Amino acid sequence: MPLTGIDALAFAGPASYLEMTDLARARNVDPSKYLVGLGQRRMAIATPCEDTVTMAVEAGSKALDNFDIDPGEIGTLIVGTETGVDHSKPVAVYVHELLGLDQRCRTFETKHACYGAMAGLTASMDWIASGRARGRKALVIASDIARYGLNTAGEPTQGAGAVAMAVSDTPRLLAIDPARIGDYTRQVMDFWRPLYSKYAFADGHYSIECYLDALVGARLDAIGECSELLESLTACLYHVPFVKMAFKAHQRQMEIELGTQITREQAARWQALDDSYQRLTAPWLSLNADIGNIYTGSLFLALIDLLRQADNAFAGREVSLFSYGSGCGATYCIGTISEGADQWRDALDPSEHLSTRRQLNIDEYEALVLETDNADRQEKLEPSSFGLKDGLFYVGTRDHCRQYQRF
Ligand code: CAA
């Protein structure tokens, strides 16, 4: 079985963001609830000209350019998203054209809430392992805009962005062990978005329980009843709808290894939990805290955060990854950081983009939400009116066909 895994990684996201403190003040909420209770600092806000397609293309082209991959090397393109732009036509086929990929490319979209990109990643690994790839790479892109609506409990857990990853049999960043991949599926109504709604509905507290149950199930399928995994790892990465969720997930992994669940009060006094969380998870959550929930890409955003801090001592070290998609489906797997991965730190670091984002005030944010609601039917949208300059943008729909233009 060839060694397969992640060969390139890149993030792209909207040019604007909202400070969580501004949102908290506008909603008459103590800012500590968002900053400490949820662990979020900022959230990326998409304008009407930035959609799932434009973010996917920007992330995809960065992954190809920054890692010297010729578009002709891509034989499979998968876009994982739960916020596509059409009920029928896949985001992936727009992305295929806009990235200039070869026509001899298998191209499709995967939807399973936040799980779509992990489904794409494991399907790409299977495609390579089966021999069908014939030396080519796959490009898997997670792209989403998390929208819950104004004044809802989910509002502080919004965000937007895309992560692109090339998958190959010579992974320069992370090899994934095919013998330690575990899956979990259960029909639950924890988070969903009916066809008629742009906004997600969530049974928020129940969704947290479903996430934690899925973690237990997928981990069991991946590694059985092992009680000493965490000690051997360098990082535990999770799907991060909000930063505090990663803490809850890490607590559950510690409980699994301890063989018992503990109360909230006990958790607060459990020094080993805090030590383990500070060593294995907290250092890689800074991008998630600054960008918010990007659904399919949020686990891989934590991976970018880890790899942008990796030095050569990280080579050969093992990392766990947990992807959760409401509804629900999940995968738990173990990856090994590649020799030389640290050479790519600058190539995958999105700091420059984040430092040039524009801060929105609450009125601008609320106005954008309303404008985005109507954007699908607008005939002409002007990116400069949203402060956008260089890049690929959605510029309106003519004869029911979406139009994209590079500026
Ligand atoms: N200072 C510090 N902390 C405070 C505080 C204050 N003043 N006030 C409250 N808090 C704490 C609370 O104690 C709580 O922490 P714990 O969970 O550790 O107890 C935290 O802040 C949040 O408070 P609440 O639970 O009262 O918040 P809420 O009821 O308003 O909603 C939420 C929180 C359920 C996450 C909501 O934002 C939501 O529904 N989000 C969308 C659903 C979601 O993200 N689910 C995650 C799992 S599903 C998934 O992962 C898929 C996906 O991407 C959607």
Give residue-wise pLDDT tens across range 199-256. Answer: 999 999 999 999 999 999 999 999 999 889 999 999 999 999 999 999 999 999 999 9
CA dist 118 and 105 (Å) reads 20
Give the pLDDT confidence score for residue 167 in this predicted structure.
98
Measure CA 248 to chain center.
Answer: 18
Q: Is 332 in the pocket of ligand 1 (CB under 6 A)?
A: no
pLDDT category at 268 given cuts 50, 70, 90 is: confident
Mean pLDDT to the nearest integer, 275-282: 97
Q: Is 114 a catalytic residue?
A: yes
pLDDT at position 104:
96
The per-residue pLDDT for range 26-38, each reduced to its tens digit, is 999 999 999 999 9
- Dihedral sign of CA atoms 94, 95, 99, 102 in order: negative
Q: Which atom of ligand 1 is nearest to the CA of 30?
A: 7
Give the integer Cα–Cα distance in Å for 13 and 145: 10
Tell me what pLDDT residue 262 has: 87
Predicted TM-score (pTM) of this structure: 0.97
Strand partners, 144: 161
The residue behind tokens 């992974």 is 171
Measured between alpha carbons, how far is 284 from 237 in angstroms, rounded to an integer? 8
Q: Is 401 a catalytic site residue?
A: no
C-alpha of residue 115 to centroid of ligand 1, in Å: 20
The whole-angstrom separation of Cα 90 and Cα 12 is 19
Cβ neighbours, 10 Å, residue 407: 12
Contact 163, 11 (CB under 8 A): yes
Count helices and strands (H / E) in the chain. 14, 16
Using CA atoms, how far apart are residues 210 and 220, in angstroms rounded to an integer?
15
133-163: buried (b, 16+ CB within 10 Å) or exposed (e) per residue?
beebbbbbbbbbbbbbbeebebbbbbbbbbb
d(CA 233, CA 216): 18
* Residue of 280, 279, 14 lying closest to 147 (CA atoms): 14
pLDDT at 1 > cutoff 70: no
Read off the amino acid at residue 225: E
pLDDT digits (tens, 9 = 90+) for 395-404: 999 999 999 9
The pLDDT, as a whole number, for residue 251 is: 96
Q: What is the pLDDT of residues 64-94, one digit of tens each?
A: 999 999 999 999 999 999 999 999 999 999 9
**CA–CA gap between residue 325 and residue 156 (Å, rounded):** 19
Ligand 1 centroid from CA 133, angstroms: 43
For domain 4-406, which architecture applies?
Answer: 3-Layer(aba) Sandwich (3.40)
Residues sharing a CB contact under 8 Å with residue 70, sequence separation 6 or more, in sequence order: 64
211 has which bridge partners?
none
Residue 297 in contact with residue 320, Cβ under 8 Å?
no
Q: 23, 27, 33, 206: which to mutate for ligand 1, most atoms within 8 A of CB?
A: 33
For 145-198, the pLDDT digits (tens) are: 999 999 999 999 999 999 999 999 999 999 999 999 999 999 999 999 999 998
Give yes or no for residue 2 having a pLDDT over 80: no
pLDDT for 3: 86
Residue 295 to residue 144: CA distance in whole angstroms: 6
> What one-character DSSP code corresponds to residue 312?
G
311-344 b/e with 16+ CB inside 10 Å = b?
eeebeeeebbbbbbbbbbbbbbbbbbbbeebbeb
* Distance in Å, CA 55 to ligand 1 centroid: 27
| Span 316-342, pLDDT tens digits | 999 999 999 999 999 999 999 999 999
H-type helices in 12-152, by residue range?
20-26, 31-32, 52-66, 91-98, 116-129
Confirm whether 239 is a catalytic residue.
Answer: yes
> Mean pLDDT of all residues in the chain?
96
With tokens 């992640």, the residue in question is 6
Task: Output the CA 124–ligand 1 centroid distance in Å.
Answer: 34
